């Protein structure tokens, strides 16, 4: 894995983790009873984005280290998932 592919892998993991964490612990304006005129009741009252960025970065870093170990350590290779034997020199 090169530097560019390592960065891309981290960013993909980061964005997937962020999209999972984004709706967690959201309290809507409708639930709080503080609906601002012109907004929907489902709009968040507080979104806690700074905290979610920090948590996302920490989780993504751990997942990236695990993924990098698996890729660089050869725990799982492309040949391991070649079910049809289409790669040259593939094991059966």
| Residue-range definition of the domain harbouring residue 69 | 3-81
* Burial class, 41, CB count within 10 angstroms (exposed 0-12 / middle 13-18 / buried 19+): exposed
For helices 49-73 and 3-21, the axis angle rounded to 10 degrees is 140
- 86 within a domain of the structure (yes/no): no
Three-state secondary-structure class, residue 85: coil
What per-residue confidence (pLDDT) applies to 42?
Answer: 81
What per-residue confidence (pLDDT) applies to 41?
Answer: 81
Give the residues of the chain that fall short of pLDDT 70.
88-92
Phi and psi of 19, rounded to 5°?
-65, -30
Q: How far apart are CA 60 and CA 40, in angstroms?
A: 32
- 89 within a domain of the structure (yes/no): no
- 49 within a domain of the structure (yes/no): yes
Q: How far apart are CA 91 and CA 83, in angstroms?
A: 9
pTM of the model: 0.74
What per-residue confidence (pLDDT) applies to 39?
Answer: 80
Instruction: Count the domains in the chain.
Output: 1
């Amino acid at each position: 894995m090169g530097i560019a592919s390592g960065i891309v892998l981290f960013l993909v993991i980061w964005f997937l983790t962020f999209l999972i964490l984004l709706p967690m612990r959201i309290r809507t304006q409708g639930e709080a009873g503080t609906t601002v005129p012109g907004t929907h009741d489902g709009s968040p009252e507080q979104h806690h984005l700074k905290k979610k960025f920090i948590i996302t970065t920490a989780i993504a870093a751990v997942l990236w280290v695990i993924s990098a170990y698996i890729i660089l350590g050869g725990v799982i290779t492309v040949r391991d998932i070649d079910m049809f034997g289409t790669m040259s020199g593939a094991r059966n």
